[in-house]
Amino acid sequence: MIDFLKGTLAVKQPTRAVIEVHGVGFEVNITLPCYESLGEAGDEVQLTTYLHVREDQMQLFGFSSVEERGLFLHLISISGIGPKKAQAILSSVTVNVFQKYIIDENLSGLTALSGVGKKTAQRLIIDLKDKIKAHGAGEIAETGTGAPVSDLDDLIEEAEAALLSLGFARPKARQAIEKVLAAKGSDINVEILIKESLRLV
């Protein structure tokens, strides 16, 4: 397993980053908390990672913390949850809030997350509650607010690209984004727009 990458942040987008390590660019799928914790392009960064290997492809996933990666690994061990769905779930909520949902058996909180229906929520509680209790609930704070995107078209385009890369259809993604903008107004940064939109798709 590639445990971490340390190098120059070449590209930073809400769902992906490229880290240059000794002249090689590693594309990494990232969660929103990871995006918020990264610096700006050109900064030296260290990223906690997981290499997901299938017969036809290898994908690197990056995380804001070791705890977030641990939760990702728990999620993908559950039937019906692949790495993209796990990435979407961890982009919808912080680790400590998710763990609290599991410990409290909060079905309404879990089903509000992207791609989580009632059956999946029940399975998450059954499969993860004892593991989370055994390893502690964790205290992962919200990180950063991100830089606002000044132009509304750029804001919508970046949020839509993030949702599309997570596997959502363009019409559903656009509809969710428009609902969030109608409710919150255009004075919103891209991280919050994506997070709120994920609750609606």
| Residue position matching structure tokens 């090689």 | 24
Pair 79, 28 in one domain: no
Instruction: Tell whether 163 is covered by a domain.
Output: yes
Q: Tell me, what's the pLDDT at 48?
A: 93
Pair 83, 35 in one domain: no
Q: Say which CATH number the domain at 171 has.
A: 1.10.8
Q: Say which CATH number the domain at 104 has.
A: 1.10.150.20
> 31: Cβ–Cβ under 8 A, 6 or more apart, which residues?
62, 63, 64, 68, 72, 87, 90, 91
Query: Which residue type is seen at 144?
Result: G
Q: How far is Cα 133 from Cα 114, in angstroms, rounded to an integer?
A: 24
For the full predicted model, state whether its pTM sits above 0.85: no
Q: Tell me, what's the pLDDT at 136?
A: 54
Instruction: Tell whether 34 is covered by a domain.
Output: yes
Total number of domains in the chain: 3
Instruction: Tell whether 140 is covered by a domain.
Output: no
DSSP, residue by residue, 137-192? ----------PPPSSHHHHHHHHHHHHHHTT--HHHHHHHHHHHHHHH-S---HHH
Contact 45, 156 (CB under 8 A): no
pLDDT at residue 121 is higher than 80: yes
Q: Tell me, what's the pLDDT at 149?
A: 41
Strands 16-21, 44-53: pairing is unpaired
Q: Tell me, what's the pLDDT at 27?
A: 96
Q: Tell me, what's the pLDDT at 49?
A: 94
Q: Tell me, what's the pLDDT at 165?
A: 82
Pair 96, 80 in one domain: yes
Query: Which residue type is seen at 24?
Result: V
7-51 per-position pLDDT tens digit: 999 999 999 999 999 999 999 999 998 998 998 999 999 999 999
Which of 63, 83, 114 terminates a domain? The answer is: 63
Q: How far is Cα 106 from Cα 149, in angstroms, rounded to an integer?
A: 34
Instruction: Tell whether 143 is covered by a domain.
Output: no
Q: Percentage of the chain surpassing pLDDT 70?
A: 91
Instruction: Tell whether 90 is covered by a domain.
Output: yes
Q: How many CB atoms lie within 10 A of CB 126?
A: 12
58-72 per-position pLDDT tens digit: 999 999 999 899 899
Q: Tell me, what's the pLDDT at 13?
A: 92
